[in-house]
Amino acid sequence: MKKICLYISSLLILPLTSQAQQWTSHTNFNHVSQLAFQPGGHIIWGATPGGIFSFSSTDTVLIQHYTNVDGLPYIEASSVTLDQHHHKWIGTLGGGLAKLDSAGNAWTVFTRNDGLASDTVLCTAAGGQNVFAGGYGSLSYYDGYNWFSLLAQQGYELGNRTQALAARDDSLWIATDQGLRIVKVSPLSSIRDTNNWTTFSNYDGLSSDVRCILLTDTLSMIGAANGAARLVGGAWQRIPGLGDQVRSLARMGDSLFLATNNGVKLWHQNVLSDISPGLLSYNVLSLTVDEGQILWAGCDQGLCRYDAGSWDNYVFPGIAKNYVQHVSVSKTKTVWTTDGNTLISNYKNNSWSAFTNPIPGIPLTALTVDQDNNAWIGLGWWDGLNNSYLLKYCPDSLVNIFSTPRVPAGCGVWTGMVDRDNTKYFTAYNFAIFSVSPDDSVWTSYVDPSPRGAYNNAMWIISIAKDLSGGLWLGSYYNDLTYFKPQENTWEHFGVESGIPDVNIRQIAVDNSNIIWLATGNGLCRSEYDPVAHTLRSTVFQTSSSPILGNDIRSIVIDRSDNKWIGTERGLSLLTWDGKWVNYDRRFSPLISNDIRQLAVCPHDRSGDDIYIATAQGLSVLRYDAVAQRPVDNPSVAPNPFNMTRDGHIYFSNLPSEARIDIYTLDGRPCGTFYGPPAPAHTLSIRPDTDFPRRPAAGLYLCRISSSGQKPVICKLVMIR
């Protein structure tokens, strides 16, 4: 049985007792692939790619949404069925089979280690104390104590997919993509004897791709890829006039309801009719009937209730789409996401809103949030008239669509960033970058006169970051790393000869010591820039030489404590400010998916930050309380000596919590008082030529570092010209 725990690399030891961590999963759970009704409780259970839900059929309200954080072993649920004790059995597409007890509190998880054929379960059924689970060319069964499995390669006629299961009396009906099987299961061990398996050669013209089964005391029916049929006297009779794909069947009295890819159909007194008008969507996936003889339908956009000839529809709150390509967070903690194509979502005041790309056919390729809490979204290419586009949203609506000539013509806006002054920087296809002034009035393009790399006719910039001296680092999809100083209009290029492992640089981050961190397609790269020699000194972290989870680095962000959060194809890695590694993956943490697309970080409170993790299966949020309050121990000052001609900033690191830094000349004259940020951040940068009350002279300075209730520490600082 799988247990949830935190994986820590064997190469490190971290005092986890000093760290509080809380996970949240945001998913869309409106794609209702299967429904089950719980008698007596008036509860409808639904399986979706975003978890499972319980819904009150009488009050018509959502009771609870369960995700991987709540105990579900995998976020994508394929099926749900109830046994005679009202235990819920949930098949997942990667985490095995989960059992939720009748009270809805305790979880038990079964995987391949327990005897399941696979951790991918496509369908489930329960009969008496027996439970059955179908997968790809497999069938697993549980006798209340142990699991056993049958495989197609062992000679069992299970096709490539077991698509539906149903139990009645002493038989199990198995729908596969290659026909229907009926198996004797009393005693349960008889299921292993192929002589107890019945097959059919035809279904009255129906496809052998059988999708669903309905069994009652008097009715035996199947739905297939091109219609439905009932078994009468050992022969199949097809419902005439129905050629749609039938996904689910339900019966009320002498009425039969069919969920199809073209709505819900009614078969009553040998007449087929369409009752779909009013549905949320005609893409209907599942049906069930409650105790009040009310029909419920699950479609790809929500849950629908059919009563007295009309539909009532219920759409659940959540992110617009489970595939999250981009994420960014405003200062007011409004979360913005896109699916990289057509959908934009934001989350504020515990509620999700969705917007549709106003320029259809052009993908969404950049997302950043400015200092006024507006989201800026770039489009990936230009239209047929050579116009390029940049969208601006406030939290409630689209504010503006900027296009050519403001946005350079014939380009895709692939990435963006916002600096402390609220100047926006974006990258363009045939240009290096363009900037937008804080009030959006001035738009300036900057073109590299001599781009270097494989494609010198286009920059292909996909990442951008501003360092502490005001320079812009530009990462390319094909070309080299570029360093642009807008103040001097100088361009420098760095390739693999500088120690960079790959010129495909997806994201760039700058830490509190002005170190450049590169997320590349072949590892994480730490680079120090020498402004005098104009060189890079790089260190590469790869799976062969470090505990990092993967070499395909998709994203990197740095929190207030100078911790580096690294998104990979295999999960999330953390390199702490003091050089330790922690890894999070789906198996051993509540991370929703290992397929990480992008990261964002936002302060939560004085004690910690929120890490937002955009994945291919939803949005994970990790509340990370980095460290306990830090005492005055061994603070450091760098560079020391500080060259006032060459160096821009003085960096204080390893500061105590809520530090106060008083800087004096050697004869005691004050040069300024500066305050370090609250925990968990323990670094501070000062620019003497602007932050001191007067321009400092060369000489020796004393830095008094103190924190409330602690003995101060004195550091010496030398300034030279």
pLDDT tens column, 233-263: 889 999 999 999 999 999 999 999 999 999 9
Strands 416-418 and 424-427: antiparallel
Output the pLDDT for position 681. Answer: 65
Rounded CA gap, 669 and 307, in Å? 83
Rounded CA gap, 240 and 305, in Å? 26
Output the pLDDT for position 7. Answer: 29
Contact 425, 472 (CB under 8 A): yes
Match 């299921």 to its residue by tokens: 191
Output the pLDDT for position 247. Answer: 98
Structure tokens belonging to residue 309: 């000839």
Output the pLDDT for position 347. Answer: 97
Between the alpha carbon of residue 76 and those of residues 47, 48, 167, 505, 608, the distances in Å are 8, 6, 24, 31, 30
The stretches in the chain having pLDDT less than 70 are 1-20, 430-431, 453-458, 626-632, 678-681
Output the pLDDT for position 721. Answer: 84
Nearest to residue 528, comparing CAs of 645, 639, 652, 633?
639
Long-range contacts of 524-532 (CB under 8 A, 24+ apart): 524/548, 524/553, 524/556, 524/564, 524/566, 524/575, 525/499, 525/500, 525/501, 527/494, 527/498, 527/499, 527/500, 529/467, 529/483, 531/469, 531/646, 532/646
Output the pLDDT for position 432. Answer: 75
SS3 label, residue 496: helix
Contact 493, 481 (CB under 8 A): yes
Output the pLDDT for position 458. Answer: 65
Rounded CA gap, 585 and 656, in Å? 32
Output the pLDDT for position 428. Answer: 84
Structure tokens belonging to residue 258: 């069919």
Number of H helices, E strands in the chain: 1, 64
Rounded CA gap, 592 and 600, in Å? 16
